[in-house]
Amino acid sequence: MSGMQFGIFSVGDVTTDPTTGHTPTEAERIKAMMTIAKHAEDVGLDVFATGEHHNEPFVPSSPTTMLGYLAAQTSRLILSTSTTLITTNDPVKIAEDYAMLQHLSDGRMDLMLGRGNTSPVYPWFGQDGRNALPLTVENYQLLRELWDNHTVSWEGRFRTPLQSFTSTPRPLDGVAPFVWHGSIRTPQIAELAAYYGDGFFANHIFWPKEHFAKLIGLYRERYEHYGHGRADQAIVGLGGQVFLRKNSQDAVREFRPYFDNAPVYGNGPSLEDFTDMTPLTVGSPQEVIDKTLTFRETFGDYQRQMFLIDHAGLPLATVLEQLDLLGEHVIPVLRRELDALRPADVPGGPTHADRVAARRAAETAAPVDAAPSSTDDAHETPGLVDGALVGGR
What's the pLDDT tens digit per position in 138-165? Answer: 999 999 999 999 999 999 999 999 999 9
Neighbours of 171 (CB within 10 A): 19
| CA-closest candidate to residue 83, choices 117, 106, 120 | 117
**Once rounded to an integer, what is the mean pLDDT over residues 330-359?**
96
Lowest mean pLDDT among 70-84, 118-132, 174-188, 208-222: 118-132
Q: What is the pLDDT of residue 57?
A: 87
Q: Are 182 and 112 in contact (CB under 8 A)?
A: yes
**Which amino acid, 242?**
V
Q: State the fold for domain 5-390.
A: TIM Barrel (3.20.20)
Query: What Cα–Cα distance (Å) separates residue 42 from each residue in 374, 388, 389?
Result: 42, 44, 42
* Long-range interactions of 153-162: CB distance < 8 A, separation 24+: 158/127, 158/131, 158/134, 159/90, 159/91, 162/92
In percent, the amount of the chain with pLDDT more than 90 equals: 74
Average pLDDT over residues 341-355: 97
pTM of this prediction exceeds 0.85: yes
pLDDT of residue 118: 67
- What is the predicted pLDDT for the residue at 312? 93
Would you say the C-alpha torsion 277, 280, 283, 289 has a positive or negative sign? positive
With residues binned 3-state (H G I as helix, E B as strand, rest as coil), the percentages for the chain, rounded to 5, are 45, 15, 40
List pLDDT tens digits, range 198-234. Answer: 999 998 777 678 888 999 999 999 999 999 999 999 9
| Residue 157 main-chain phi, psi, to 5 deg | -90, -30
Domain boundaries, the chain: 5-390
The mean of the pLDDT values for the chain is: 90
**Overall residue count recorded for the chain in this entry:** 393
- Residue 377: predicted pLDDT: 37
More confident position, 149 or 368: 149
Q: Can you give the pLDDT at residue 185?
A: 76
- pLDDT score at 366: 67
